[in-house]
Structure 1
Amino acid sequence: MHPTFGAAGPLGGAEDAFGEQVPLADEPPPYHSVVLQSTVEPASTSGRDTGSGSYGVPANSEFEIRVADPVRQGEGVAAYVSYKVLTRTSAPGYREAAEVIRRFRDFVWLQKKLRREHPGVIVPALPEKNVVEKYKMTGEFIESRRAALTIFVNRVAAHPILKRSPDLQLFLEASETEFGIEVSRSGMEDPAVVQGAAKKTLSGAVSFLKELSHTASNLYHKRTDDEEEEAEYLKIRVYVYELERHLGEAQRQAGRLVRHQAELGEAVKEFGAAMGTLGRYEDAGLVGDSFGQLGERAQAVSALCGQTSESLATSFEAPLKEFVRTVAAVKKVMARRSAALAAYQQARADVDARRTRLAKLRGTPGIREERVAEAERDLSAAQQGAEAAKAAYEAIVQQMGPELDRFQRERAREMGYVLRDFAVVQARLSGDTARLWASLVPGLAAAAAGGGHGGATAS
């Protein structure tokens, strides 16, 4: 049971999110005084849907969550960025408003916990952990991560199953001290932690041998695990793997387009500067003025290209990156389904082997009853294990049906938003650029008609 969540405590309590001792400052400065930058968010990532439809934070009548005010904590390799997570909600059991401090690994903890508790659910994706950019701590990196974290936590809160998770409430409402205590407790309850390194290694070796035996049996009998899967699901799986490949290429090309737009802006800027210099070299007159005006327009077009590059990075390249991460999250769920099916098949093979052994023992003259009784117990345990493995696999299958439908609907809708916004950005750039260049035409035509009056005067 989670503790009653109080008000957010000071950043960095006696223990951090993983139970490590963290020194407390005697009088830490106010949080707002060390915020790295303003985080006034665009409409697509700042809250509720405006009704026109856009990519980013999903429409949610219960939750409004913002990740804001990044603050750099520590120095060197131990440095990290903390964020304010501000929540307003009408969900039953929640406080109406909450404000807590979280860092990136707290979001990672929430994602891992949700995946463990809901194996058939497609848990929203987090931004990748870029070690190089982390140490650089550039404003661009911090802002892109903040925006991605906002989308992540809002997608969790909009999910019909995940939004009811007590772990989400813990994340959104618990003070730093309470959150650290609960995270440490949940870590101790993790089977991977409880069983210890030696048992984990032994368990992994046994699982590997069973899987190897299962694979060898499939090869011998010329069968695959997929024979027990539904044909429609296998089609979707192939589609998802192909989708990941094509989305990855689209995202790479989007990155090239963003860089090209920025480089074009710089080139036009340099061209404008050269035209301005040339105009100052000319004597006063139509030609000299025309060069000067051309330089001014080029500077304005350069600014448009820079703005467009930034807009494409946030409204086109970033969404495509998130689509790639979302598909990877779908693949994780599919991998768990395949692992559950393989475990069930191995459990059935184990039952068959133990049943065969029991039959041989019963047919052996003079066999001791103790050995038969032991074999019967082994068979019963194997049957119970097979039933448990079957239930686990069927639970994932049952959950994945609506999850895949939801994924496909949301992906199609949001991809439509992203492509629409891309077209709008390109149309706006083209229109504004055309108007700027067109405004030069009358003056240049006059200069051409007049033959121009300028140039250096011969001595």
Structure 2
Amino acid sequence: MSGTIVDSAVFPNQTNTMAADISGQMLDLDEDDDLEVFSKQATRGSAFEFEEEEASDFKDIFVTVDNPESHITAIETFITYRVLTKTTRSEFDNSEYEVRRRYQDFLWLKGKLEEAHPTLIVHPLPEKFVVKGMVERFNGDFIETRKNALHRFLNRVADHPILSCSEDFKVFLTAQVWELASYKKQGPGLLSRMGETVRAVANSVRGVKNRPEEFTAMQLYVEAFSNKISSLDKVTQRIVKEQKEYLGELKEFGPIYTLWSGSEEELVGPLKGVAGCIERCCKETEEQVNQLSDTLVPTLHEYVLCSESLKAVLRRRDNIQAEFEAKNEALATKKVDQDALKEETDRLEDRVEWANSALKGDWGRWQRCMRGDLKSAFITTAQKNIDYYEKCQAVWETFLLSQRMDGSEDAEKDDSS
């Protein structure tokens, strides 16, 4: 979909606002050149090639997140979600599992996947804290939205040809609460994690000297994508807010006509007719607002978070290369410990090649998912807007027709008398 279609079809009343906010920056989802510029390179000779058609035919793990429950203890209040898994994989002892997980468990899983596969694109989790202006924490709408986002996160992992084979993912899906708590304690110690952090900071400060051109282009793409999707997210949330305010006023408007009809004997029919039209339009407006809130807003905001995940992946790739470059320089200048440095340099070179291959392979896969998700959300929203305006128009046209018919009948009665 071009930017023009997004402006006029998805948000019919916001064309000027959109043009002013992000003119010339919309995603062109129907053009192949800009969205597949990297995927062609990603599939060439990559160890991580993955055909979507084959994967869908061979899907062997299905995960559902549902049934949120609130827990109140002396020190905290939290929500747990039921995670149901059905699988035919031989590495699982059973074909079905049911466990309960809280948000911090999902956060742990995401961290472990990123730690083990720093340049694979792990789908984002919803934010830990509620964004200002959004619903209250533990409010029913918030819990439902978070449940849906957690469901999508696990299914993205389950659909991934590499991440879904992670031992951490298997433990997350199968271990009971106490078993998971015990497994978490087996992770790297505090000093080890601090060492990794120090190296990452040092590498980011040092920077990369010879970043491959394709990753520089990837970085530019991500920056542009982030700006576009953030603008769309903000505009959409503003539209939803304004539509909710309009709906609230519309609900107050209808009863006024009903009350008015009680004091105007000759206008009882028309006034009650207007009240009925407003009531039916209220119902249609509420459905439209729900569609925006349930479909478009979560999808756009999810990809705002996704853009941040992509930036983090690219930073981690740069850190891996920066560490290799630093060791390579040390090997060229130092006269002692040559053998040890050479061995470490070779290891880091292999790590850089693996990281690059992993990212290139995942890049095309992520783009296909992104394009499918956004295109589906835009088309669904555009169709809902068309249905909404057509139904509201039909309501008022029916009312006008009834009034004209009543007027004709009154005129005939006057002529006959």
Give the TM-score, by structure 1 length: 0.71
Partner of 1:102 in structure 2?
A: 101
Partner of 2:163: 162
Give, in angstroms, the shift of residue 130 of structure 1.
1.1
Contact 1:297 1:436 survives alignment (8 Å): yes
Q: Letter of the 1:68 partner, please give it.
A: D
| Closer/same/farther in 2, CA of residues 173 and 204 from structure 1, 3 Å limit | closer
Alpha-carbon distance in 2 for matches of 1:250, 1:440: 37
Q: Residues 261-320 of structure 1: CA distance to partner in whole angstroms, max 9, x if unpaired?
A: 22222222222121111112211x4x2111011112201211221121111111111011
- 3-state DSSP class of the match of 2:59? coil
Task: Tell me the distance in 2 between the aligned counterparts of 1:59 and 1:426.
Answer: 35
Q: Percent identity?
A: 22
In 2: Cα distance, 1:209 partner to 1:118 partner: 20
1:65 aligned onto 2:63: yes
Residue aligning to 2:13:
none
**1:192-271 counterparts in 2 under 5 A?**
193-195=190-192, 200=194, 214=206, 225=208, 228-271=210-253
How far did residue 209 of structure 1 move? 6.4
Is 1:300 aligned to residue 280 of structure 2? yes
Assess, with a 3 A threshold, how the Cα gap between structure 1 residues 294 and 204 changes in structure 2: closer, same or farther: closer
User: 2:292 pairs with 293, 312, 320, which one?
Assistant: 312
| Distance of aligned partners of 1:178 and 1:138 in 2 relative to their CA distance in 1, 3 Å threshold | same
Per-residue displacement from partner, 1:329-371 (whole Å, max 9, x unpaired)?
A: 22211111111111111111222231xxx3xxxxxxxxxxxxx
Distance of 1:114 and 1:184 partners within structure 2: 16
Query: Where do residues 285-434 of structure 1 align in structure 2 (5 Å cutoff)?
Result: 285=266, 287-354=267-334, 358=335, 375=336, 378-434=337-393
Q: Is the 8 A contact 1:71 1:81 kept in 2?
A: yes
- Matches of 2:80 and 2:275 in 1, distance apart? 44
Moved >3 Å (runs of 4+): 131-136, 203-212, 446-451
- What is the identity, as a one-letter code, of the residue corresponding to 2:303? F
Residues 211/274 of structure 1: CA separation in 2 closer, same or farther (3 Å cut): closer
* Deviation of 1:142 (Å): 0.5
Partner of 1:79: 77
Deviation at 1:401, TM superposition (A): 1.1
What SS does the corresponding residue of 1:82 show, helix, strand or coil? Answer: strand
1:92 Cα deviation after fit: 2.7
Q: In 1, distance between residues paired with 2:401 and 2:169?
A: 63
TM-score normalised to the size of structure 2? 0.78
Q: With CA pairs under 8 Å and 6+ residues apart, which has the higher RCO, 1 or 2?
A: 2
Correspondence 1:115 to 2:74: no
Instruction: Tell me how far apart the structure 2 counterparts of residues 302 and 59 of structure 1 sit (CA, whole Å).
Output: 44
Q: Secondary structure at the match of 2:89?
A: coil
Instruction: Decide whether aligned partners of structure 1 residues 328 and 76 sit closer, same or farther in structure 2, where only a CA change above 3 A counts.
Output: farther
Shift of 1:88: 1.6
* 1:111/1:100 CA distance change after superposition, 3 Å: same
| Distance 1:330-1:137 versus aligned 2 partners, 3 A rule | same
The verdict on how the C-alpha distance between 1:71 and 1:184 changes in structure 2, with shifts beyond 3 A counting, is: same
Partners of 2:121 and 2:274 in 1: CA distance? 54
Letter matched to residue 245 of structure 2: E
Contact 2:135 2:141 (8 Å CA) reproduced? no
**Which amino acid is the alignment partner of residue 277 of structure 1?**
L
User: In the comparison of the two structures, how many residue pairs are matched?
Assistant: 352
Distance 2:268 2:119 in 1: 70
CA contact (8 A) 1:265 1:304 kept: no
CA 1:90–1:204: 2 relative to 1, 3 Å: closer
Distance in 2 between residues matched to 1:254 and 1:157, nearest whole Å: 30
Q: What letter corresponds to residue 242 of structure 2 in structure 1?
A: H
CA displacement at 1:389 relative to structure 2 = 2.0
- Structure-1 residue corresponding to 2:258: 276
> 2:203 touches 2:319 (CA, 8 Å); kept in 1?
no
How far is 1:211 from its partner?
6.5
Q: Rate the CA distance shift 1:134–1:443 in 2: closer, same or farther, 3 A.
A: closer
Name 1:137's counterpart in structure 2: 138
Q: CA deviation at 1:60?
A: 7.6
SS in 2 for 1:67: strand
Give the secondary-structure state (helix, strand or coil) at the position aligned to 2:90: coil
Deviations 1:11-53 (A, max 9, x none): xxxxxxxxxxxxxxxxxxxxxxxxxxxxxxxxxxxxxxxxxxx
Give, in angstroms, the shift of residue 445 of structure 1.
2.3
d(CA) in 1 for partners of 2:404 and 2:74? 60
Q: Pick the structure with greater CA Rg.
A: 1
C-alpha RMSD of the superposition: 2.5
Return closer, same or farther for 1:205/1:127 CA change in 2, 3 Å cut-off: closer
Quick one: which amino acid aligns to residue 66 of structure 1?
T
**AA partner of residue 411 (structure 1):** M
Structure 1 gap ranges (5+): 1-57, 216-224, 359-374, 452-459
The 1-side partners of 2:391 and 2:368 are apart by: 35
> Tell me, what secondary structure is at the counterpart of 2:226?
helix
Structure 2 residues not aligned, in runs of 5+ = 1-55, 412-417
Q: Deviations over 1:371-420 (max 9, x none)?
A: xxxx3xx3333222222222221110011111111111221122211111
